[in-house]
Structure 1
Amino acid sequence: MKTAEPTPHTETTAARIGRIAGAWFPLIVLAAGTVAVFLPGPFLVLGPWINPLLMIIMLGMGMTLRGSDFAVVAKRPVALLIGVLAQYVVMPATGWLLVTLLQLDPAIAVGVILVAAAPGGTASNVMTYLAKGDVALSVAMTTVSTLLAPILTPLLVLFLAGSYLPVDAPGLFLSIVQIVLIPIAVGLLLRRFLPRVVEVLVEWMPLVSVFGITLVVLAVVAGSAATILSSGLLIFAIVIALNGVGLLLGYGAARAVGLDESSRRAVSIEVGMQNSGLAAGLARTHFTPEAALPAAIFSVWHNVSGSLLAAFWSRRAPAARRGAAKVDETA
């Protein structure tokens, strides 16, 4: 779910609605999760629709991709490499450490590791934009980590969670290809051969993404409402820790290799915000509804924490930009 700086004179109705939906996204997801916990019945029918909804969101991502999104790979390989390595090293290692130390129920442990081994979430692009971070780097990280997910996510889950529950790595691979790669490929083809149609559809994709993710949260939380009420506080604490470590160490890794402030913000948000919807879909398909619980709570929390961090950084221009502003003032 990418965004661009709106221009008041040319902003369309669709773009305006999408921008407003994106601004209210954390509260919408938080409200949806709360309602589904205490009134799960009406939303249980959404369970079979989780994967189709994720496919629609990934289709939208494919339609928004441009050649310039991949140019970062060639122009700034170090920044991208550090970001993707942090994504697939920091988060899985943290998730494994948490479930090992706390000796969680096997289903919950697998759910935590699934979230930790997932690629970056598309909402991170919006948060990076709001945080005055490097949006191009964020988009490239989301794209590359998503394309690597069919290989890395099953292998990481097999390696880190195989002792908790049987892991069908080939099945995970096929599910991720179906949910992620095929829709993205279709989106790219649509953009290539039906550009005018896609230009119209893309303006509505932020709204579609908000709506889709909200329905996924409703479905997953409703399916695990009883577990949330009985042990939700512990899982919530684990989710907060996992997200917080990702944000902190993502920033630290970028700083350690000398990336500028805007890139550090992008890497931090990208590493800390996971594609928890994908993790929830995989958990329900290959494990149990309880295994989807960490992903459901993560879906709510990482959008809240991401928004708070973006709001904090939005009031503080990156150092390079502040320096440029001073030069402009003295010119």
Structure 2
Amino acid sequence: MKFGIVGTNWITDRFIAAGQTIEEFEVTAVYSRTQERADAFGDKHDIAYRFTDWQNFLASDTFDALYIATPNLLHAKQTMDALTAGKHVLCEKPLTLTAEEGRKLFDCARHNEVVLMEAMKSTEAAAFKELEKWIHDIGTIRRVNFHYNQYSSRYDKLKDGIVENAFKPELGNGSLTDIGVYTIAPLVRLFGLPERTYAEGYLLSTGADGQGTVMARYKGMTAVLSFSKIIDSHLPSEIIGEEGIITVDKISAPAVTQKLNRQGDVIERFEHHEPPMSYEISTFIDCCKKGIGSAENEQMSMDTLMMLEEIKQQIHQEGYLE
């Protein structure tokens, strides 16, 4: 499948590197607002076609699907434009900033008979698929602890008075949308929407959330989600049942998952070594070949967007301001 690229940054470099492990993957076109950037990225990855005009890019027959990795605020419009132009779209998380926008995009994809998928690498990873098989082996699940806390180098710059995009809420950025989403998506994939959600956070001087904590209540089970761009944490995430525990090395990009008994003994262990993004690319290509998107992935994206909206509202109402 021939891909066009929007967003010439480090995440796109990783996307292309992961795609190169898949036989059907090929990058043939790139769009950037400046010719200099388009040429630099094109030369770096040996991409034949470079565009600086958005409409000409979308009208081009040099690619079949678009990978979008631009600032969060731009996802909805760029995805809508591409779907309307008849292109399949794999869009980085979060797909949009509101559930209403997300619903419009999936409806547009169906109307134009193309595939839309959110690039949530974690829930397509082989280790996560193995985890899904183990869920019924650990008895009644009572607690879930998912966390992703990663200190951002851009936070150091913020403390020095330099505000970069990562901490600009007007671009849709912050710890919730940038990394907290990685704790929400697997939760709703496994258990659906909670009955009730409580959230609080810490707001930085820019108004962006630096970190947050969420308690999601289900019948008989509680999930605690934590995410931060101003601290680090290296503990695994857990799903805890009455008869055992499942651990995940990194909820944003699972590579190792283990099933333990109550005493902490490892019963089963699964590990994979493929690039994390390779699995989402394979799933997306398979959907495009079939000509229909994954209903399971669509539901996860919509549930995630609904939780994101509610959590964001609570954090900005109740969060501590720096």
TM (normalized to structure 2)? 0.29
The structure whose residues are more often helix, as a share, is 1
The structure whose residues are more often strand, as a share, is 2
